[in-house]
Amino acid sequence: MKLQITVEGKTYEVEVEVLEEDEGARTAGYGQYQSFAAPPPMTFPAPPLPAPDGNIAAGKVCCSPVTGLVIKVNIVPGQQVQPDELIVVLEAMKMETNVTAPCASTVRSVNVAPGDSVKVNQVIVEFE
């Protein structure tokens, strides 16, 4: 098979010998483009909620948003807290996460201490 190739304005005639004709083995070469369909977007299910406990009323708890380590606890049982007040600091993958009070309330119990490991959705503080 003879081909004409132009390089930097000069045209050359070359002879090419095809050794194997395998349509499945062809790939895009120089100057050719292949298009690929974009993969579908990834979706992840919401993390499971903690199992309901008869002693804990809905909305009266604060759960860990991440799996990590408790760095600091800023509250004690009986303490009054305001919405968005910092109550616990967690560390996950060398990043700190501030956990704040969801509402104005009184702390009933603190279920963690500095150095404790916590899992996602683990109840860390209960409110009255």
Fold of 61-127: OB fold (Dihydrolipoamide Acetyltransferase, E2P) (2.40.50)
> Can you give the pLDDT at residue 72?
95
- Per the listing, tokens 């860390």 go with 124
With 60 as the cut, is the pLDDT of residue 26 above it? Answer: no
Using alpha carbons, list the distances in angstroms from residue 43 to 46, 98, 108.
Answer: 9, 26, 37
Instruction: Give phi and psi for 40, each to the nearest 5.
Output: -65, 150
pLDDT digits (tens, 9 = 90+) for 48-101: 555 545 445 556 899 999 999 999 999 999 999 999 999 999 999 989 999 999
Q: Mean pLDDT across the chain, nearest whole number?
A: 81
Can you tell me the distance from the alpha carbon of 73 to that of 88, in angstroms, rounded to the nearest whole number?
5
